[in-house]
Structure 1
């Protein structure tokens, strides 16, 4: 059995309530809720794979409104004791996930301004979200393989929250098509 994970129900609107071979988990937004909900789910059951689907803002202008598989997750809203942005005091700076084509920067706020993008982009990420690092870190602690698929919903700049609201259903449909293609369900 696999575990299909999303932060919000709206990211799953294109998915059937019952997807053969998958249990479903909606964690809530942000790193703490993601960590808590995924930890509880993995503590309660055994899964061969975690498949995360969701939306992300594109901070790399080369990324289009498409679905990308995440290969690396970092945190953009942490600073170590030396003041280095992107490095946590006790957690790894980067969590390697697999062969994905893009890195994602995770933080506990919705990125929607050019100044924030200018701070985050040098960390090496092409996408931003609010949960991927937490999901990847928890999966690693439990030794469960994870895939993170993100559909670009916005450009993480001026009024991105409005773009997200307008595109989340279309992003869900893109993600559903990808799951259908990759898993045959």
Structure 2
């Protein structure tokens, strides 16, 4: 992709810890922050694609449960916090990880409840975050290819806390950086 100018995006500064030397934007947590910040960046017209790197909670169980130390490419996103059915969106960036593709649900809540996790998994999601649907919707509106890469950070269950996430986010950022160095740089 010589000559291309990707926009590297993180939702939280902790996820970007290992990327201090890589130009990037931190949008802030949640769908509104993600949408407004990404739309503002894309309105400049200087980027030809968006690469989102971050963490996500695991909602799948059993054989569907992903490895906590593997980076996955998100190829479908849906909303889990809206009472009416919403369209499943598909980021239209190049597939780099054909054997590591997952569906992710997005909602404006940090999922840390067993019943909520089970309900989200029943929608067909393996992972859950708070920004992916917004990023995908904005990139569609701006006609910009998007790739979303996520590494699992927690099990989104009743034992999970925000403090747990803060405790692992720097290590997860280092995992994302190793992936970026090997696959995207």
Aligned residues: 170
Give the TM-score of the pair, scaled to structure 2: 0.88
1:183 is displaced (CA, Å) by 2.1
What is the DSSP-based 3-state SS (H/G/I as helix, E as strand, rest coil) of the residue aligned with 2:54?
strand
Residue 75 of structure 2 is aligned with which of 64, 68, 71? 71
Structure 1 length-normalised TM: 0.88
Secondary structure of the structure 2 residue equivalent to 1:102: strand
**Aligned residues: CA RMSD:** 1.3
Distance 2:7 2:160 in 1: 29
Match in the other structure for 2:157: 157
Q: Which consecutive residues of structure 2, in runs of 5 or more, have no partner in the other structure?
A: none
CA deviations 1:19-70 (Å, max 9, x no partner) are 2xxx411110000010000000000232121000111001113211121110
* 2:157 counterpart of 1:166: no
Distance apart, 1:126 and its partner CA:
0.2
| SS of corresponding position for 1:176 | helix
Residue 30 (structure 2) pairs with residue 30 (structure 1): yes
Equivalent position SS for 2:151: strand
CA deviation after TM superposition for structure 1 residue 108, in Å: 0.1
C-alpha distance in 1 between matches for 2:53 and 2:78: 17
Three-state SS of the structure 2 residue aligned to 1:44 is: coil
1:13 maps to which of 17, 35, 38 = 17
Residues of 2 paired with 1:49 and 1:179: CA distance? Answer: 15
Unaligned runs of 5+ in 1: 81-86
Cα distance per residue 1:125-163 (max 9 Å; x no partner): 000000000001100111111110111000001232232
- Corresponding residue of 2:88: 94
1:77-126 C-alpha deviation (Å, 9 max, x unpaired): 0012xxxxxx14xxxx2101244610000000000010101211111000
In structure 1, C-alpha distance between the alignment counterparts of 2:35 and 2:67, rounded to whole Å: 29
User: Would you identify which runs of 4 or more consecutive aligned residues in structure 1 move more than 3 Å?
Assistant: none
Give secondary structure in 1 for the equivalent of 2:43.
helix
